[in-house]
Amino acid sequence: MSSGSRTTNTDAWGGFDDNLIQGSGSAVIDMENMDDTSGSSFEDVGEMHQRMKEEEEVTAEAAAAEDESTEDGEFLGMKGIKGQLGRQVADEVWQAGKRQASKAFNLYANIDILRPYFDVEPSQVRSRLIESMIPVRMITFPQKVAGELYGPLMLVFTLVAILLHGMKTSGTVIREGTLMGTAIGTCFGYWLGVSSFIYFLAYLVNAQITMLQMLSLLGYGLFGHCVVLMVTYNIHFHFLFYAMWLLIGGLSTLRMVAVLLSRTVGQTPRLLLCGTLVLLHMSFLLYLHFSYHQILEGLLDSLEGPNLAPMQRVVRDVPGLTLNTTMRNPGVMQMTQ
Amino acid sequence: MASAEEASRPFAGFSDVSIPEDIPVEGDISVPVTPSSRDDELSTLDEPVKETVLRDLRAVGKKFVHVLYPKRSSVLLRDWDLWGPLLLCVTLALLLQGGAADSNEQGGPQFAEVFVVVWFGSIVITLNSKLLGGTLSFFQSLCVLGYCIMPLTVAMAVCRVVLFTTSGTVGFAVRLLVVTASFGWSTFASTAFLADSQPANRKALVVYPVFLFYFVIGWMILTFSP
């Protein structure tokens, strides 16, 4: 039956064609014949597969560019749809992939998670900045700490800018890395690292403070640092720096300490927590001032050139020859004065 | 076989529910692709490269003009592009190259520093303005901030020229003036675009980081010494 006609109708209705061809021009469909060749019987399925394979070979030789979709061809067996099916499948794969990627992105990189922490007004930020320098007196009742991140973040960036200014004026030469990288690393490292450490200690001694509150508190505590450094990077008086360090640094530290005290019970935990915070906060200010200030003074000392330094020592060790050497090198006389 | 096929021809329309072999049927029945967009792509693919480059350059130039005279127009926002910011950033970084006491040690990182400062700073400001409830999209903000670096780049070029000719306090005063003016111009230009997208009472919260950003760049320009 199927060997006679070589039409390429290879789906379930292929039998239709054979019937009609055999009927030699009759338009009447022979129902009993149709039942036999409905395509659902085992032999017909086998015939269909054979026909499909033969057709495949022909088309595979003919269209060399379409050999990647022969699997589709086997599956459905229609040459025209083969190309379109491949395209559709690729399209669907792309859509599925895109859907998954956007779901993952929305889950993890959603900045809306941080949106409530940035919900502030300028007047609120201003009042919190001023409050960060005023220690509260009542430590028996837990003090309210604002959980916002805008103010602390802006203060950290301001500190970075001030530090950059300080590094530039002191002529720091960073050998491995950049000036900017060091400044950002120092400030962010301090803010995030010390916050985490104090939060960890607070967790150990069971103090009532959350990580967000600690970040916020320490961030606002950097306001004092910004003020002090802004002044002392430009006016180089040691006495001024020490006074400001004690006064302004002390005030902002006292504020943070008071808030922590109000949220901790027990003498030893209070001592531990607040002592650590005082130590870290005040020494950070010292470090920021002196690590770049010292270089400036060191530079000034050796600015006359490295070849004069040994001569200085010679002058000190052998005072008898001082007059002769200073006559020859008036620069040294200026230095020793 | 041929006669059988010819015999089947009268019934081709009747029984042929499948696709005949010799006429391959292709087309977009179910895929909703608009053919017009394909035509557009083809048309820009076919044009000469010079035309494409010139068109992009003209768009960048138009945006430069808009930064020079910052009115409240939406050209910068509507079709944003990042070519202009990239050009400006690279120019600024090249001009700031080699400005250190021991230039043999700090030649490389300076370029990277400027790049990182500009792009990292722009991203932070954009995120900040979005978190504060801004309506601009991410790339629109990047575009605006990048284009508004132009006055500072011009100031850098002027400073370099000044450093060649004069030196000492006069030169420093001139440079300070130029940098301050261009810093103010940059901040003003970018806030003209950015602050409009914020709720009215929070404009100051968005303006401050922009101020800081251009201040840092201006500071890098002012303290540059070859």
Q: Write the pLDDT tens digit of every residue in A71-80.
A: 444 555 555 5
Average pLDDT over residues A248-275: 92
Smallest Cβ–Cβ distance between B112 and the set A4, A21, A178 belongs to A178
Residues in chain A: 337
Share of chain A above pLDDT 70, in %: 59
**Contact present, A169 and A297 (Cβ < 8 Å):** no
pLDDT tens per residue, range B13-70 = 565 566 556 777 776 666 665 555 555 555 677 778 888 888 888 888 888 887 777 6
**Contact present, A155 and A220 (Cβ < 8 Å):** yes
Q: How far apart are CA B80 and CA B108, in angstroms?
A: 31
**What is residue A215's predicted lDDT score, i.e. its pLDDT?**
94
Beta strands in A22-107 (DSSP E): none
- Apex A120 CA angle, A203 and B128, nearest 5: 90
**What is residue A69's predicted lDDT score, i.e. its pLDDT?**
47
Token code pair at residue A118? 């940035």
Mean confidence (pLDDT) of chain B: 78
8 Å CB contact of A173 and B100: yes
Least confident of A17-31, A164-178, A235-249: A17-31
Write down the pTM of the prediction.
0.66
What residues in A contact B16, CB-CB < 8 Å? 9, 17
Q: 3-state DSSP call for residue A208? A: coil
Average pLDDT over residues B84-97: 89
Question: Mean pLDDT: which of A7-16, A281-290, A313-322 is highest?
Answer: A281-290
**Contact present, B203 and B180 (Cβ < 8 Å):** no
In sequence order, which residues have a C-beta less than 8 Å from that of residue A305 and are 6 or more positions away? none
B26 touches A: beta carbon within 8 Å? yes
Average pLDDT over residues B100-127: 73
Substitution target in B6, B8, B18, B130 with the highest count of A β-carbons within 10 Å is: B18
**What is residue A142's predicted lDDT score, i.e. its pLDDT?**
84
Of residues B117 and A212, which shows the higher confidence score?
A212
Report how far apart the first and last C-alpha atoms of chain B are (Å, whole number): 90
**What is residue B19's predicted lDDT score, i.e. its pLDDT?**
58
Q: Report the complex ipTM.
A: 0.73
Of residues A333 and B136, which shows the higher confidence score?
B136
Q: What angle in degrees, to the nearest 10, is found between the helix axes of A250-262 and A267-301?
A: 160
Cα pseudo-dihedral A302, A304, A306, A311, rounded to 10 = -100
Side chain identity at residue B64, one-letter code: F
What residues in A contact B219, CB-CB < 8 Å? 161, 164-165, 168
**What is residue B67's predicted lDDT score, i.e. its pLDDT?**
78
**What is residue A2's predicted lDDT score, i.e. its pLDDT?**
45
Residue A284 pLDDT exceeds 90: yes
Helix (H) or strand (E) holding A21: helix A14-22
Q: Give A58→chain B minimum CA distance, Å.
A: 11
Long-range contacts of the stretch B93-101 (C-beta < 8 A, 24+): B95/B153, B95/B156, B95/B157, B95/B160, B96/B156, B96/B220, B96/B221, B96/B224, B98/B226, B99/B224, B99/B225, B99/B226, B100/A173, B101/A171, B101/A173
User: Quick one: which of B188, B177, B195, B182 has its CA closest to B211?
Assistant: B188
Residue A52 pLDDT exceeds 60: yes
Least confident of A63-67, A160-164, A243-247: A63-67
Cα pseudo-dihedral A298, A300, A306, A309, rounded to 10 = -80
Q: Give B122→chain A minimum CA distance, Å.
A: 13
Q: Give A75→chain B minimum CA distance, Å.
A: 15
pLDDT tens per residue, range A94-152 = 999 898 888 877 766 677 778 888 888 889 999 999 999 988 888 888 888 888 899 99
pLDDT tens per residue, range B185-208 = 999 888 887 777 777 778 888 889
Least confident of A242-256, A276-290, B63-77: B63-77
How far, CA to CA in Å, does A138 sit from each of A83, A224, A262, A277, B198? 79, 22, 8, 19, 39
**What is residue B139's predicted lDDT score, i.e. its pLDDT?**
87
Of residues B71 and B208, which shows the higher confidence score?
B208
Q: How far apart are CA A75 and CA A49, in angstroms?
A: 10
User: Quick one: which of A321, A207, A195 has its CA closest to A264?
Assistant: A207
**What is residue A310's predicted lDDT score, i.e. its pLDDT?**
45
**What is residue B16's predicted lDDT score, i.e. its pLDDT?**
53
Local confidence band at A314 (pLDDT 50, 70, 90 cut-offs) = very low
B8 touches A: beta carbon within 8 Å? yes
Local confidence band at A227 (pLDDT 50, 70, 90 cut-offs) = very high
Residue A23 pLDDT exceeds 50: no
Share of chain A above pLDDT 90, in %: 31
8 Å CB contact of B201 and A122: yes
